[in-house]
Structure 1
Amino acid sequence: MSHPHNSSDLISLVDNGPERSILARLILPDVVVDDDPLEELHGLATTAGTEVVDELTQRRGTPDHSTYLGKGKVEELRLMVERHEAHVIFFDNDLSPAQVRNLEKATHAKVIDRTELILDIFAAGARTHESRLAVELAQLEYSLPRLKRMWTHLSRQSMGVGMRGPGEKQLEVDRRLAQKRIHDLKVELEKVESRRERQVASRNEIPTISLVGYTNAGKSTLMNALTGAGVLAEDKLFATLETRTRRWHLPNWGHVLLSDTVGFIRDLPHSLVASFKSTLEETRQADLLMHVADASSPQVFEQITAVYQVLEELGIEEKDTLLVLNKIDSINGPRTLNRVLDRYPHAIPVSAKTHTGLTPLCEAVGAALAKEFLDVEIDVAHHDGKLLAYLSAKGKVESRDFHDSHVTVRVRMPAGAMGEVHRSAIRVVPTQLTIRGDGGTAEHDAVEDDTTQEPTGDQASAHSSEVA
């Protein structure tokens, strides 16, 4: 005889709450830690959707070969899992496959190391086709040496007839499937990267500024404050995984493009950096970087260093960069901010949330761009179509005046592109551009100079201050 109420009774026993997690970290002698060594891992665990119920740290000279932590701490972990009925243990370290297996066996809970947790967060947040490809590639490259029959759901037919030899182990088949998928993903991402490079390069007539920084430093909020873009800005790690580009009217300059990119983090997995190269193409091609740092974070120095390390990995560490100290509204007193300014005296303090300090920031961006771009008047021979095309491709042409023997072109050019101009032009002189309120340009007053050489240091300096 059936009892209708039994099913509802069973449902009421199901725990519908978030997974309960325990945080663990081994601190080695050469690692400098702050007052709360698990603060960042706590943010990652919360972003992953779990409820943190306990924490454990251990200082030790070297990791244990089999369990990473010492035996006493492993037993302590097991008791924590039992007491809180925890589902998962997050380690703020990278573990070997054998260490993960031994810890899971000893604690009877799922064990996830730092890299796998970051990859999981990226996978959950990936929305575009490009970011999904990048995350899948990074996950596969991480998982390949850790295969535990996780690819048996893939069709054997995708490998073609005859690929499975007699007596071949299932693990070898799984590994072959994973390697083929990695190859396919790399080919697809190379196509995406080539497309993105062409797309970004085609916009070179407008200066591009890229926001970079530690995750949750407030890049998206700053972008909204500067452009009114209305992009997603959440108080969590890795809220942005795709590049968003918006037009920004920069006072006393005109229109520029502002790009918001994926946030960086300490010990960002190398596979992720490599996979997201196409997504970070905006940063690689930008004329100027705005490095946004959370001035209210106790780890602000470590976070700034971590960002520079990732930029170095991407090969763009030498690009002109403005350091922006955000979230000054969250600082209790001037001492905390002065501590950062003492080390980075040229940094610009702002609050994207309250719009404090945005005017000095705009002035600094204009001054920085003025170093990279020159407003010039160039006389070009009628028959020199190559130079005319070069000016259109590399600069922003404001006007053309046709004369009997030549064309006078007024253009804003990247300073680095002037070499070709000086080799071919009849005459080159700097000009002063007056920016209208709508972002266009008004009258140009040429600073008469019969030489075809670049402006002197004094002229360039004066020009920079006029534009800024």
Structure 2
Amino acid sequence: MHENRAYRDGSKMARGLKPTVDPASAPERALLVSVDLGTRRLAVPPSARMARRAASADLDSLDLDSLGDQEPGAAEKGGSDDAFESGVAEFRELVLSAGAEIAAEVQQRRGRADAATLIGSGKVEEVRAVAESSHADVIVFGQNLTPTQLRNLENALPGRVIDRTQLILDIFARHARTREGMLQVELAQLEYMLPRLTGRGREMSRLGGGIGTRGPGETQLETDRRRIQRRISTLKGELESVRRIRSQQRQRREAVPVPTVALVGYTNAGKSTLFNALTGAGVLASSRMFATLDPKLRAIVLPSRRKVLLSDTVGFIRDLPPTLISSFRATLEEVQKAEVLLHVQDCSSATREEHRAEVKHVLAELGAGDKPQIEVLNKVDLLSPEEQEGLRSGHGRPMAISARTGMGLEDLLERIDEALQADPMVEARLRVPQSEGEVIAAIEAGGVIRNREFEGNLVFLKVSAPASLIGRFRRFATLPK
């Protein structure tokens, strides 16, 4: 039914050595438990093992007749292994981003989850032994745990137990800086915690029926539940106020036609580095996951002289907790209201296509899946010259750039110019008196002057500018010659 993988020590401490640093100043030591569910590892017959050993050898020495004995699906298992290893690497990065130190790891492959503990009673005993020998403070599961599984594991293991959602929420709490971000994280944490109170204090309940359940009034469990529900209601009200303020700010921006372009993408794809490269804002750009939590807005000027607002948003991740999507809806409205999305992807990642599909899935959930998108392949400087040549940008193709070195950024700005539909660029001929210096200055600032001729006290201009700017000065318009 399932196959277990042996754990790997994260340090000498995992082999039973005592810590030599002050526990008060040391980071938490985490034991990582990764489980690959839904994929049964089939027994590999000798013929298949021979084929694998010969894969890199001379094909003439391979007994091709023996390949017919290979079990169905065995050849395809490598793709599943790649996906599992990619998920484990991402899991490690999440734990490091939370500020923990990896003490040891336990990995398991199962056909299906155990309803009581996710990993089965035998594996629970192994995890307990590893946690004790590695002096782990917290046992982190790479999957989400049901309330029952969480309670059973807490009772069986020597340390705190958290799952993937709790881990991500903790990272968000570390990175929240604004009042809005803190409210959103607290709301998501409480909504996650509320159903997990059930059962944790079942032995305390005195409100049920039957022997041993009769007793005085409300217990701590019911008190905690009522307090959390009241706090959730309060947070939703405060976030609704934030949403109204954000909506009012957006309406004021929309009164002046300045379109918004939003950066979206998988976490750690380089969105903040690109945001800094285009705006010079100097926001935090880190290799740690979810370094950007609160949205940033900055104005940039395109080659056509049009101004747009560029928005940097929180990165997405596979299996993004639903509580986060709902809690951060006010922030993600910037994505919904943007005219164009820049889908930033790490082209050096072996799992780029998987990350791309995950981002598109989240955008569809947000109702932004049909918005115009420009796919941006970032970090091309990490590729070989041959690989870079294969990513040449063209009309309708992804843009190949390096936000770190600046490669391809000018072409990206031109592509944004082409993609904007609101306030399109138009060609016009204007006849402006030289005494109207402010008009000429405004046209030079907001558009591109293709030709300029003087006749008496008049200036004849051939310009390419946004339709809104030409509309402001249509009284100076002339018929084409």
Q: What's 2:221 paired with?
A: 171
Matched, 1:26 2:35: yes
Deviations 1:413-465 (A, max 9, x none): xxxxxxxxxxxxxxxxxx984359xx99999897969xxxxxxxxxxxxxxxx
Q: 1:76 to 1:446 in 2, by over 3 A?
A: farther
Q: 1:336, CA displacement in angstroms?
A: 8.4
Task: Specify the code of the residue in structure 1 equivalent to 2:397.
Answer: H
Matched, 1:271 2:280: no
Matched, 1:356 2:365: no
1:136-147 matched pairs, under 5 angstroms: 136-147=186-197
Q: What's 1:434 paired with?
A: 464
1:229-378 matched pairs, under 5 angstroms: 229-332=281-384, 334-335=386-387, 338=390, 346-369=397-420, 371-375=421-425
Task: Specify the code of the residue in structure 2 equivalent to 1:269.
Answer: P
Q: 1:16, CA displacement in angstroms?
A: 2.6
Distance 2:342 2:21 in 1: 52
Q: 1:43, CA displacement in angstroms?
A: 0.8
Matched, 1:89 2:139: yes
Matched, 1:100 2:109: no
Q: What secondary structure does 1:259 align onto?
A: strand
Distance 1:256 1:92 in 2: 40
Q: 1:150, CA displacement in angstroms?
A: 10
Q: 1:363 to 1:133 in 2, by over 3 A?
A: same
TM-score by length of 1: 0.72
Task: Specify the code of the residue in structure 1 equivalent to 2:298.
Answer: R
Deviations 1:143-197 (A, max 9, x none): 001128999xxxxxxxxxxxxx952222111111111111111111111111111
Q: 1:335 to 1:375 in 2, by over 3 A?
A: closer
Distance 1:169 1:252 in 2: 67
Distance 2:465 2:284 in 1: 31
Q: What secondary structure does 1:279 align onto?
A: helix
Distance 2:148 2:275 in 1: 44
Equivalenced residues, count? 374
Distance 1:211 1:105 in 2: 44
Task: Specify the code of the residue in structure 1 equivalent to 2:464.
Answer: T
Q: 1:15, CA displacement in angstroms?
A: 5.3
Q: 1:301 to 1:288 in 2, by over 3 A?
A: same
Q: What secondary structure does 1:434 align onto?
A: strand
Does structure 2 conserve the Cα–Cα contact (< 8 Å) formed by 1:377 and 1:446? no
Q: What secondary structure does 2:424 align onto?
A: strand
Q: What secondary structure does 1:202 align onto?
A: helix
Distance 1:297 1:16 in 2: 35
Q: What secondary structure does 2:330 align onto?
A: coil
Q: What secondary structure does 1:38 align onto?
A: helix
Deviations 1:16-74 (A, max 9, x none): 31111121122122694254431111111001100112222211111111110023322
Q: 1:350, CA displacement in angstroms?
A: 0.6
Q: Can you give the 5+ residue segments of structure 1 that lack an aligned partner in the other structure?
A: 1-10, 152-164, 379-397, 400-410, 413-430, 450-468
Q: Can you give the 5+ residue segments of structure 2 that lack an aligned partner in the other structure?
A: 1-19, 40-78, 202-214, 429-437, 440-445, 448-460
Does structure 1 conserve the Cα–Cα contact (< 8 Å) formed by 2:30 and 2:138? yes
Deviations 1:209-267 (A, max 9, x none): 11111111111100111111111111110111111111111112422111111111111
Distance 2:32 2:99 in 1: 14
Taking only the aligned residue pairs, the percentage that are identical comes to 46
Q: What's 1:133 paired with?
A: 183
Q: What secondary structure does 1:103 align onto?
A: helix
Q: What's 2:231 paired with?
A: 181
Distance 2:98 2:407 in 1: 32
Deviations 1:295-340 (A, max 9, x none): 11121111111111111111111111111011111224644884x8
Q: What secondary structure does 2:177 align onto?
A: coil
TM-score by length of 2: 0.71
Q: What's 1:454 paired with?
A: none
Q: What's 1:115 paired with?
A: 165
Q: What's 1:425 paired with?
A: none
Distance 2:379 2:354 in 1: 17
Does structure 1 conserve the Cα–Cα contact (< 8 Å) formed by 2:259 and 2:422? no
Task: Specify the code of the residue in structure 2 equivalent to 1:208.
Answer: T
Q: What's 2:103 paired with?
A: 53
Does structure 2 conserve the Cα–Cα contact (< 8 Å) formed by 1:200 and 1:282? no
Q: What's 1:16 paired with?
A: 25
Question: Which residue among 199, 208, 212 is the counterpart of 2:264?
Answer: 212
Distance 1:357 1:348 in 2: 8
